[in-house]
Amino acid sequence: MNIQRRVSFLAVGLLTASFTITQLSAQSDDEIPELNGLWDGGFSVRPVNGPDVPWGEDNFPKLNSRALAYQEVWEEIMAPKYDCQPASSPAIQYDPYAMQVTQWPDRVMFRYEKDDQLRTVWLDGREPKATDFSIQGFSTGYYEDGSLYVTTTHFVFDVAGFDDYNGIPSSAQKIVTERYWREGDELKMTLTLEDPMFLLEPTSYTTRWLPSAPGYKLQPYDCDPEASRASVRFYPSKYD
């Protein structure tokens, strides 16, 4: 690459970065909540997750016939978590582990103790590419009225993509939206899930985190596939 072209690319990059920083810094402090820190989402903070938590009679998803068919053939030994596949939205946000939030001018990073997962929420207006499909999808966000709003698309198909318990999959059409805000010491979030491939209508839940104990650090998850799969070796199967 010649020097003139390098200078042109550098100039474009600097202009783009300058525009992004100017755009974000134009937001007032009232619009941007303080989310930085380590947050405790363990059993002492909220109910134990399971088949009916955070899903219950009021918000359990209405399934179409395709989802019901998948659920009919589901059995525990199929769960990809036993092969150390990470949990995805909408389950990973509710799993009873700690979470670290780091706010940067152009992004917000969510690091989950569960499954050693890192999600990046882009605030700079970038759009996903065809290569951005993944278990955690592609997240964009913005601040407004003291809340962080996040939209995540570009998920890959996941046979247990709804959660670890109910045998409901999720598709590449899954869209997850989240709103994060502070109420005193609490970090709260409302998550809404839609997936027309399997759900008849969107569903949502609200949860919270509290500040982690002083000095706490995220612990390695260290999932071992051999040991994890061994735990279900003797589960009875409904198939020969």
We report the CATH number of the domain holding residue 157 as: 2.40.128.20
pTM exceeds 0.85 for this model: yes
Task: Give the pLDDT confidence score for residue 12 in this predicted structure.
Answer: 39
Total structural domains within the chain:
1
Is 232 a domain residue?
no
Omega prior to 90 cis, within 30 of 0: yes
Task: Give the pLDDT confidence score for residue 132 in this predicted structure.
Answer: 97
In whole angstroms, what is the distance from residue 71 CA to residue 60 CA?
A: 14
Is 209 a domain residue?
yes
CA 110 to chain CA mean position, Å: 8
102 SS3 class: strand
Task: Give the pLDDT confidence score for residue 49 in this predicted structure.
Answer: 78
Is 72 a domain residue?
yes
Structural domain harbouring 160 = 30-215
Is 231 a domain residue?
no
Is 76 a domain residue?
yes
In whole angstroms, what is the distance from residue 155 CA to residue 170 CA?
A: 8
Name the burial class of residue 181, with classes exposed (0-12), middle (13-18) and buried (19+) by CB atoms within 10 angstroms of its CB: middle
DSSP 8-class letter at 47: P
Q: Which of 212, 128, 181, 200 is nearest to 191 (CA)?
A: 181
Task: Give the pLDDT confidence score for residue 59 in this predicted structure.
Answer: 94
Task: Give the pLDDT confidence score for residue 92 in this predicted structure.
Answer: 96
Q: For each successive 10 residues of the chain (240 residues), what is the average pLDDT?
A: 48 44 56 97 88 89 97 92 95 96 98 97 96 97 98 97 92 98 97 98 97 96 92 85
Is 223 a domain residue?
no
Is 125 a domain residue?
yes
Task: Give the pLDDT confidence score for residue 16 in this predicted structure.
Answer: 43
Residue 11 in contact with residue 126, Cβ under 8 Å? Answer: no
Is 63 a domain residue?
yes
Task: Give the pLDDT confidence score for residue 47 in this predicted structure.
Answer: 87
* Range list of H helices, the chain: 3-25, 65-73, 225-230
